[in-house]
Amino acid sequence: MNSYYWGAASSIAAVHGVLRHLSDEDNFRSKLGLNQKRFDRALNHTTSKYEAEVKVSDAWHRLAALVILLSAFERYMAAVTSLAVASDPSLTPGFPKVVEGLALRKHNVRLAEHDLVNVVKGDWSSRAAAYARLFGENTHVSNAIGELDAMRRARNQIAHEFATVERQPIGPHAALLVGARQTAAAFNDVSVSEKRLLNWFDVVRGVVRRVDEQLLRDFIGNYEVPALYLEWAADPVGFESASGVSASLGRYSKERNAKRFLGLAMNKPRLSMAYVRSVITFCNAL
């Protein structure tokens, strides 16, 4: 997310830095190194017009960043709460667990599942309440409800401006005109300053950090790596095909392939064999 936002934001700022010193008589394409043929048609106009286009692009980039930020955050909340439930189906804070999720996973035992839908659906007051009912209150989440809901409403407004809405039936040519105007209106109706967007980045970062702290401490613990190993070990080829992580080499032992797989999955290429053996030993003892 940071790479996406700051890569484009810095590029746009650099372009603005050049354009502010140019007039319509100047060749802005030459100054910006945009002399390639693919720009001949799209940028065949004045400096001032191009500068206006860049400003519009900058504004839309912030709106797109907000949509991506909220989507990534909601995927995180869905994943981390699912992980907590998988690790501790009884949702009893602390260790050792009353019900060990890893043992259930290894022996393919399925219990009644907790409903996590309300953690990622609806307004943030209801989401925070659903989270608290399952995992206990997180004061950082509760304190961030106002900002999180403002983000949700802004994101929804952006998305809804492009959605099909029911209107009185009109002809296709009129619909095309209205659609174009609606898209242009969306730019005026929904705006997010960089200052506010960066504040929302901080809000999401803070919530993620505190949710991580709570769920890792009370429910997840060291569940992730053994669970990952168990899923991979059951069918290495099938798992790697589905996940896109290619680690298994036919000429090596399963233990060495496990080291390679966990190193790739955890982004730790220097993972020690001693650590991998400890994971395997633990899983075998379940």
Cβ contacts of 67 within 8 Å, gap of 6 or more: 155, 158, 159
Mean pLDDT of 125-147: 96
Q: What is the pLDDT of residue 52?
A: 93
Domain segments of the chain as ranges:
2-221, 222-286
How many angstroms separate the CA atoms of 164 and 183, rounded? 12
Mean pLDDT is highest, among 11-20, 153-162, 235-244, 266-275, for 11-20
**CA dist 208 to 34, 154, 284, Å?**
40, 20, 33
Residue 211: predicted pLDDT: 97
Mean pLDDT for the stretch of residues 217-230: 91
* pLDDT at position 190: 74
Interval 220-240 mean pLDDT: 89
Percent of the chain's residues with pLDDT above 70: 88
Tell me the average pLDDT across 233-257.
81
pLDDT range class, residue 32, cuts 50, 70, 90: very high
**Would you state the pLDDT for residue 240?**
81
Q: What is the 3-state secondary structure (H, E, C) of 10-78?
A: HHHHHHHHHHCCCCCCCCHHHHHCCCCHHHCCCCCCCHHHHHHHHHHHHHHHHHHHHHHHHHHHHHHHH
Query: What is the mean pLDDT of the segment spanning 182-203?
Result: 78
- pTM summary value: 0.81
Residues in the chain: 286
For residue 248, pLDDT over 70 is answered with no
Question: Residue 206 pLDDT > 90, yes or no?
Answer: yes
Query: Which pLDDT tens digit goes with each residue over 93-128?
Result: 988 887 888 888 888 888 777 889 999 999 999 999
Q: Look at residue 66 and tell me whether its pLDDT is greater than 60.
A: yes
Per-residue pLDDT at 187 exceeds 80 = no
pLDDT band for 58, please (50, 70, 90 cuts).
very high
Instruction: Tell me the C-alpha distance between 32 and 18, whole Å.
Output: 8
pLDDT at 249: 66
Q: Mean pLDDT lowest for which of 58-62, 136-140, 177-181, 247-251?
A: 177-181
Residue 166 has pLDDT above 60, yes or no: no
Q: Residues 243-258: what's their mean pLDDT?
A: 78
Residue 222 has pLDDT above 90, yes or no: no
